[in-house]
């Protein structure tokens, strides 16, 4: 597989448009799916030994999630960028199609405590009630499609836990359309027949940060992939 579309590259920071079905990094036991960059991967440094030099992964996207994925070309820049995530100095915005409309209204905030379910081979996460929140996101409704009860939403991920958006949405009975792990099998099957959606409708559409080397505001956008755009066209 060739390297996905490059959205941004200043010689230090590189952003790619990760396709759905491509891993952010190799996972034990997942040998069939392609990986974003060529070369061996070191889990300690989170770096690919790519043909043109090392590429340090700064965060990750789920296998089915498409969109903006950030990396760096040297370890020091990677360290500085990675420190910006927990400090909430990098904005990550997603486009999602939800089943049903959030009860909170046109915009709101979701706070939950998420924990991985132990003993399962595939990473699975659940909401644990009456615990201090460790997961936060903001949502804003873009459009509601009344005939299907689907909602197009923009989601800003404040924290970045495994499967966070998917689990928080599903726990409110508003799962992401096409989510085979946390969503509705029946609804996903119906929507596949009706709209041809073969995967989860979740796309990392935009990343914003102040460049650690220059201090300049940096905005990187990834257009909605053709398969997801076609679903919206049919809904309209």
Residues 100-130: tens digit of each pLDDT: 888 777 999 999 999 998 866 567 899 999 9
Give the Cα separation of 159 and 46 in Å (integer): 20
Task: Say which residue the tokens 């946390």 belong to.
Answer: 182
Residue-level pLDDT at 1: 52
Residue-level pLDDT at 27: 82
Residue-level pLDDT at 88: 93
Give the Cα separation of 1 and 22 in Å (integer): 10
Closest CA to 164 of 62, 39, 76, 63: 62
Residue-level pLDDT at 59: 96
Closest CA to 203 of 62, 11, 106, 72: 62
- Rounded to an integer, the average pLDDT of 20-41 is 85
6-235 belongs to CATH 3.40.47.10: no
**Tokens read off for 10:** 């200043």
Give the Cα separation of 125 and 88 in Å (integer): 22
Closest CA to 62 of 201, 211, 220: 201
Helix (H, G, I), strand (E, B) or coil at 171: helix
Q: How confident is the model at residue 22 (pLDDT cuts 50, 70, 90)?
A: very high
- Rounded to an integer, the average pLDDT of 179-190 is 90
Does the pLDDT at position 236 exceed 90?
no
Residue-level pLDDT at 215: 92
Give the Cα separation of 121 and 205 in Å (integer): 30
User: What is the residue-averaged pLDDT of the chain?
Assistant: 92
- Rounded to an integer, the average pLDDT of 138-155 is 94
Q: Which residue has the higher pLDDT, 185 or 154?
A: 154
Exposed, middle or buried: residue 1 (CB in 10 Å: 0-12, 13-18, 19+)? exposed
Does the pLDDT at position 2 exceed 90?
no
- Rounded to an integer, the average pLDDT of 9-22 is 95
* Those residues with Cβ within 8 angstroms of residue 146's Cβ, 6 or more apart along the chain or in another chain: none
Residue-level pLDDT at 101: 80
**Active-site positions?**
62
Residues 34-84: tens digit of each pLDDT: 899 988 999 999 999 988 899 999 999 999 999 999 999 999 999 999 999
Give the Cα separation of 78 and 55 in Å (integer): 9
Q: Which residue has the higher pLDDT, 196 or 175?
A: 175
Q: Where are the domains of the chain?
A: 6-235
Q: Which of 134-138, 172-176, 187-191 is least confident?
A: 187-191
């Amino acid at each position: 597989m060739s390297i996905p579309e490059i959205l941004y590259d200043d010689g230090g920071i590189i952003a790619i448009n990760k396709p759905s079905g491509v891993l952010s990094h190799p996972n034990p036991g997942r040998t069939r799916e392609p990986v974003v960059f060529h070369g061996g991967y070191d889990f300690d440094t989170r770096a690919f030994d790519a043909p043109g030099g090392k590429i340090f992964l700064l965060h990750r996207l789920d296998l089915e999630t498409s969109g903006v994925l950030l990396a760096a070309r040297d370890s020091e820049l990677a360290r500085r960028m990675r420190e910006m995530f927990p400090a909430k100095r990098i904005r990550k915005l997603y486009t999602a199609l939800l089943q049903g409309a959030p009860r909170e209204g046109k915009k709101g905030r979701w706070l939950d405590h998420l924990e991985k379910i132990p003993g399962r081979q595939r990473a699975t996460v659940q909401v644990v009630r009456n615990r201090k929140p460790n997961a936060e996101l903001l949502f804003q409704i873009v459009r509601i499609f009344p005939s299907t009860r689907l909602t197009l939403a923009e989601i800003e991920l404040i924290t970045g836990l495994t499967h966070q958006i998917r689990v928080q949405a599903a726990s409110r009975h508003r799962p992401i359309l096409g989510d085979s792990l946390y969503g509705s099998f029946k609804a996903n099957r119906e929507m596949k027949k009706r709209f041809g959606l073969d995967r989860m409708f979740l796309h990392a559409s935009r990343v914003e940060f102040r460049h650690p080397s220059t201090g300049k505001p940096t905005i990187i956008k990834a257009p909605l992939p053709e398969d997801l755009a076609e679903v919206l066209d049919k809904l309209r």
